Amino acid sequence: MARFYPASSRIIDGEDLKMKDSYQIVLRPIITEKSTHLKEQNREVCFEVAKKASKTEIKKAVEHLFKVKVESVRTQHKTGKWRKVGRNQGKTKDWKKAYVKLKEGEKMIEYFEAV
């Protein structure tokens, strides 16, 4: 018996191919002057995430990893830059950035608690 799925879903052989592991979605925190300012002022945290991760997957992953409630997620696609080293030329990788805003009353995510 054949099953029909919407064109937007990623299902092959009856298996849903959405990313499931939170550690594969949230790769690392991004710590810059801008991200620390947003963390203090707007309760937003910045992460590098998997390129194919959706906003809902990012939200569920952050809630699972850090045990907090997420209000909203904004994403950006960052293109790699061309770099030269001597005669050689190459391109850095493309990546995706996510700004995650926490709900009011939630504890802030701390990266370096022992510092």
DSSP 92: P
Position 110 confidence tier, pLDDT thresholds 50, 70, 90: confident
Position 12 confidence tier, pLDDT thresholds 50, 70, 90: very low
Res 111: pLDDT? 77
Token pair in block for residue 95: 């990546």
CATH number of 78's domain: 3.30.70.330
Provide the domain count of the chain. Answer: 1
| pTM, to two decimals | 0.78
- Rounded to whole angstroms, how far apart are CA atoms 55 and 7? 19
- Rounded to whole angstroms, how far apart are CA atoms 66 and 59? 11
Q: Which domain holds residue 26?
A: 17-102
Does some domain include residue 49?
Answer: yes
Provide the pairing of β-strand 95-102 with 44-49: antiparallel
Does some domain include residue 9?
Answer: no
Does some domain include residue 76?
Answer: yes
Does some domain include residue 86?
Answer: yes
Does some domain include residue 26?
Answer: yes
